[in-house]
Structure 1
């Protein structure tokens, strides 16, 4: 862990020297088409590009991020979806470099949680006019994550969704794909221990969120990626119809309740057991299984955000 400058010093360095490295996932059509514009816009905004790295092979993403960080930029600009940004989070965590997010994915949950503009020009403008903030980092088992750990239907949906369908349907592809997965999905029993209290539930879907958004829609009106808390919530119950109706209502209206109104469990650390044991989707990567401990590390990640972002 390197010694960090103050946020004000780091912000001043980015504004004055504009030393950046750029990593863009060009495997997706959106990333490939927008990559030249990303580079030209950054140059026109006066940024000193220490290194520019298009990545068309996901297996090379981590090595490319290491190479970019070796150039010692003040700002590491990363373009891609939530999976690409999750990989970048693991590299930037606890280091004296800020992550600059270019939202080039389908749902852009992480960018939405940071209050970033979702258009390319607006997102790049934040690098020039915004500020450095320290936000919470989630840890699931031994893996860092930025936004969400989920269990149940969404794990199967993530493995079923076709890239071409995401390009055509956008955010709607997830609830629509869930309709095809749900008829054959069996509910599971989850036991969640938080602050010494054990909660038991029967459900098809359980989410534990660090960020504010899931599937492109807000989890709750008063959740924050910078409040030091995780929020656990289920969609529906053990009833398929209830999950289906709840998913469709939220996907079509974006209507979510306040944390105070439930049904949410809030804490800094959660221990989850499931019957049967289940795979965990950690920011799009399915590599862990229950039982699992999930916790937050306050101020574990340095990012570039708009001046309006409330940084605690």
Structure 2
């Protein structure tokens, strides 16, 4: 019996042209093995409606063609189901796809979908909103909010905003409770990590793993302007956790109290949330189509 795969294409994500994608899908997918259903959507509401409807159909996988935001919109409805998430990464950062070693080349990503090798990964939720990769509070969420309103996309724009805002952004005080243990942290930013990176190979939690049943919580404390010379390169060298003003905690259930409502960075998308954040791990809750050769059963994103 053929497997049924639904493709959802977001032509607006990442500012990348996706006109060739429908043709590639029909050319490269093995239609003797798969029934293909293709949808093009430019709205979050329509994406959600398609994903919700798929839960009531006998669908084997939904393939997201877009960036981390598109993935998140789809994955939130696949969590806890037998429907697998496939990925053709075409966003600005593609953090989740890079973590899973999914090719950035669309043709190669489709070859991977044809193989249909599935792994099950952890996810998280913040105030009942699902995230797959990172949940950032503080500076990174502030920049993500500005980036969402920018007329241009890509790593260059994000880097320019980051350097500009670093000059004026002030650390905040957070009441942090991790698995029942309370402490107060003054932090430039606080990132709850299921995966290791934001995207574009910027590793905020190099030792995190998608299937270890644990969050890595990276806290970046206040720092001097000149310390950026070493801090930023450490993100890309997988050494940020070794910096003197960076702390790492581990946990499954996290409560964060901040002084006021503000943006939260959820898988690269800015979401306005209350001052109280409740973050919980959902172990082995999402099935994902991944490369056959790159992973073992345990800690496969190391």
**TM-score category (smaller protein):** 0.7 to 0.9
Tell me the TM-score normalised to structure 2 length.
Answer: 0.85
Map 1:1-312 onto structure 2 (within 5 A).
17-28=2-13, 29-30=15-16, 32-43=18-29, 46=32, 48-161=34-147, 164-166=151-153, 170-216=154-200, 217-235=202-220, 237-239=221-223, 241=225, 244-245=228-229, 248-250=232-234, 253-256=236-239, 263-283=247-267, 284-307=269-292, 308-312=294-298
Q: Is the 8 A contact 1:25 1:84 kept in 2?
A: yes
Unaligned stretches of 5+ in structure 2? none
User: How far is 1:127 from its partner?
Assistant: 1.6
Q: Distance in 2 between matches of 1:258 and 1:45?
A: 46
Q: Bigger shift: 157-166 or 184-193?
A: 157-166
User: How far is 1:86 from its partner?
Assistant: 0.5
Q: Which 4+ stretches in 1 moved above 6 angstroms? A: none
Shift in CA distance, 191/106, structure 1 to aligned 2, threshold 3 Å:
same
Q: Is the 8 A contact 1:145 1:282 kept in 2?
A: yes
- 1:227-267 per-position Cα deviation (integer Å, ceiling 9, x unaligned): 111111123x223626744553235x4332569x9721011
Q: Is the 8 A contact 2:78 2:286 kept in 1?
A: yes
2:16 partner SS: helix
1:165 partner SS: coil
1:185 partner SS: coil
Shift in CA distance, 33/254, structure 1 to aligned 2, threshold 3 Å:
farther
Q: Is the 8 A contact 2:176 2:255 kept in 1?
A: yes
- 1:98-130 per-position Cα deviation (integer Å, ceiling 9, x unaligned): 110111111111112222122112211222225
Q: Distance in 1 between matches of 2:240 and 2:168?
A: 29
Shift in CA distance, 271/245, structure 1 to aligned 2, threshold 3 Å:
farther
Q: Is the 8 A contact 2:8 2:65 kept in 1?
A: yes
Tell me the TM-score normalised to structure 1 length.
Answer: 0.83
Q: Distance in 1 between matches of 2:67 and 2:186?
A: 31
Q: RMSD over aligned Cα, in angstroms? A: 2.6
Shift in CA distance, 32/47, structure 1 to aligned 2, threshold 3 Å:
farther
1:184 partner SS: coil
User: How far is 1:300 from its partner?
Assistant: 0.8
